[in-house]
Amino acid sequence: MSLKEQLKPWFEERLGLEAIREFIAHKTVPVHSATIWYYFGGITLFLFVIQVLTGILRLLYYRPSPEEAFASVQFIMTKVEFGWLVRSIHSWSANLMVLTAMIHMFSVFFLRAYRRPRELTWLSGVALLFITLGFGFSGYLLPWNEVAFFATKVGTDIAGTVPVIGSFLVRFLRGGEEVGGATLTRFFGFHVAVLPGVTTLLLLFHLALVQKAGISSPNHDPQPR
């Protein structure tokens, strides 16, 4: 008996791979998959994976301190081999991810794919959209240039207009009264740790709901009560 044949039952007993193969073999694709609206959820997921991979590569050289952040970005762009390409892919895929996420949510809304029994799928998707916007806002400051500085100041000032908790939100986001080094390190923590962790958990929940309820079919879903 070969090594592969010996290892197969060992892994099967512990991982249950046959159930996964069975699920993949019998997974059906909706009839309306030929429409363009069917693809934007998957495109958004693909762009998120690109963000993770290019973000990890950038982490090898980026330094999240007020003294070194801008210089480290310039180093990535000019000195690191293909660093300019990795940063450009990260930047453009981030913009495209926001666009495709919004198109996906609008298509779900207008096609009424949020109807019973997919209410939780819709709510988790809306939460993922807001987290995506959070990625964009937190990542915008990391190059630590003038545009990023003043954009973050304006953005956090807007948060300060929220009734009752506005002043708390401003201090929480900035790490103090003004945008500074504490803001940079705080946004860096949000961008590379907090938001990715929350996104991963919520995304797994969202995908599990999609698999459980199936893809919405506009012509066959039950009418809301």
Segments in 16-79 forming alpha helices (H): 17-25, 40-59, 69-78
- The total number of structural domains that make up the chain: 1
Residue 23 lies in a domain: no
pLDDT at res. 41 = 92
pLDDT at res. 53 = 97
Residue 2 lies in a domain: no
What is the rounded distance in angstroms from the CA atom of residue 150 to the CA atom of residue 146?
6
- Asked if the model's pLDDT at residue 215 lies above 80, the reply is no
pTM metric for this prediction: 0.86
In the chain, what percentage of residues exceed pLDDT 90? 72
The mean pLDDT value of the chain amounts to 90
| Share in percent of the chain as helix, strand, coil (round to 5) | 75, 0, 25
Residue owning tokens 């996104």: 199
Nearest to 215, CA basis, from 32, 16, 47, 18: 32
Residue 145 lies in a domain: yes
Predicted confidence band at 30 (pLDDT cuts at 50, 70, 90)?
low
The strand ranges marked E within 122-171 are: none
Residue 24 lies in a domain: no
Which is more confidently placed, 7 or 119? 119
Task: State pLDDT tens for residues 78-132.
Answer: 999 999 999 999 999 999 999 999 999 999 999 888 888 899 999 999 999 999 9
- Asked if the model's pLDDT at residue 218 lies above 80, the reply is no
Residue 218 lies in a domain: no
pLDDT at res. 34 = 59
Contact by Cβ (8 Å): 96, 47: yes
Residue 224 lies in a domain: no
Task: State pLDDT tens for residues 166-209.
Answer: 999 999 999 999 999 999 999 999 999 999 999 999 999 999 99
pLDDT at res. 225 = 47
Residue 182 lies in a domain: yes
What is the rounded distance in angstroms from the CA atom of residue 201 to the CA atom of residue 198?
5
**Per-residue tokens: 219:** 């012509």
pLDDT at res. 12 = 81
Residue 16 lies in a domain: no
CATH code of the domain covering residue 192: 1.20.810.10
Rounded mean pLDDT of 51-61? Answer: 97
Q: Identity (one letter) of the amino acid at 32?
A: H
Contact by Cβ (8 Å): 174, 180: yes
* Cα angle: 202, vertex 203, 207; to 5 degrees: 120
Segments in the chain forming alpha helices (H): 3-15, 17-25, 40-59, 69-78, 83-110, 119-140, 146-159, 166-174, 181-189, 195-213
Expressed as residue numbers, the domain containing 79 is 37-213
